[in-house]
Amino acid sequence: MSDNTIIEMRNINKTYDNKVIINDLNLNINKGEFITVIGSSGCGKTTVLKMINGLNTPDRGEIFINGENIKNENIIELRRKIGYSIQGTSLFPHMTIEKNISYVPNLINKKDKDEVKKSVSKLIKVVGLEESILNRYPEQLSGGQQQRVGIARALAAQPDILLMDEPFGAVDEITRKQLQDEIVRIHKELEVTIIFITHDIKEALKLGTRVLVMDKGEIVQFNKPEVIKKHPANDFVRELVL
């Protein structure tokens, strides 16, 4: 483990109903990396992601963030530094879009309401939506619009770590390209560490500084996109990059 490591997972195991979901998983992620995660549906990607912000706890194994075991950390403080864009969409149904996006800043009790407002306006544009929807409620948005609000909400925390679970799954290709560009820009500008689950291998290879390929609860390959492309670890990866 180098000094640069921001997230480390050691010997993680997780079982549901006697079925092993995650089997002895080990993972090291460095500060400022952009990790894309790809793998078959139901292989355990979301499970691993949720472990990082403590929404899910492994049956066995340890997780360290910035070298501290998260068991011993103030999980609330930790989570506020971790942006989380949830698979599917779980916007807060009783809040307007504006309230949804400013949820974390309001949690931290930023006194400067104007600033929060300004940053919300900025974020809504970052995800390609119009300011006019800020006063609407989630159910009044289309699926893709909701998903993008979820991304904006995750970004609003100005987090050190950004967990994104299939964030662009419900948007069209054109918007997707814009969003990809935005996320790359954000990654560079803010030097945030990103873990990004996607089913689009092109997206994974394009965005990731390293790509994590999972299958059946295990890491099949974890390497730079070029390496993945050139030297797929096994048939599963080979079929993926085809």
Q: Is there binding between residue 92 and a copy of itself (CB under 8 A)?
A: no
Q: Is there binding between residue 42 and ligand ATP (CB under 6 A)?
A: yes
C-alpha–C-alpha distance, residues 210 and 195, integer Å: 10
Choose the one of other proteins, a copy of itself, ligand ATP, none that binds residue 175, judging by a C-beta under 5 to 8 angstroms depending on kind: a copy of itself
Q: Which two tokens stand for residue 235?
A: 């048939």
> Taking contact as CB under 6 A, which single stretch among the options 1-9, 37-45, 67-75, 115-123 is the one that binds ligand ATP?
37-45
Q: Is there binding between residue 169 and a copy of itself (CB under 8 A)?
A: yes
The three-class DSSP label of residue 114 is helix
Pairing of the two strands 210-215 and 34-39:
parallel
Quick check: 56 and 47 in contact, CB under 8 A?
A: yes
Q: How far is the CB of 193 from a copy of itself (least distance, A)?
A: 23
C-alpha–C-alpha distance, residues 38 and 152, integer Å: 22
Kindly give, in sequence order, each residue whose CB lies less than 8 Å from that of residue 11, ignoring residues fewer than 6 positions away.
24, 25, 26, 60, 61, 62
Q: How far is the CB of 153 from ligand ATP (least distance, A)?
A: 17
DSSP state of 168: T
Closest CA to 204 of 166, 236, 175, 230: 166
Which amino acid type is present at position 11?
N
Please state the three-class secondary structure of 48-74 as a single string: HHHHHCCCCCCCEEEEEECCEEHHHCC
Q: How far is the CB of 78 from ligand ATP (least distance, A)?
A: 21
Q: Which two tokens stand for residue 169?
A: 């799954």
Q: Is there binding between residue 201 and a copy of itself (CB under 8 A)?
A: yes
Residues 78-97 that bind other proteins (CB under 8 A): 78-82, 84, 86, 90-95
The three-class DSSP label of residue 157 is coil
Q: Quick one: 4 or 140, whose CB is closer to ligand ATP?
A: 140
> Taking contact as CB under 6 A, which single stretch among the options 36-44, 107-115, 185-193, 227-235 is the one that binds ligand ATP?
36-44
Q: How far is the CB of 21 from ligand ATP (least distance, A)?
A: 4
Among 13, 87, 178, 209, the residue binding ligand ATP under the rule CB under 6 A is: 87
Q: Quick one: 21 or 201, whose CB is closer to other proteins?
A: 21
Tell me which residue has its CB nearest to ligand ATP. Answer: 144
Residues that bind a copy of itself (CB under 8 A): 16, 38-42, 45-46, 87-89, 128, 140-145, 148, 165-166, 169-176, 199-201, 236, 239-240
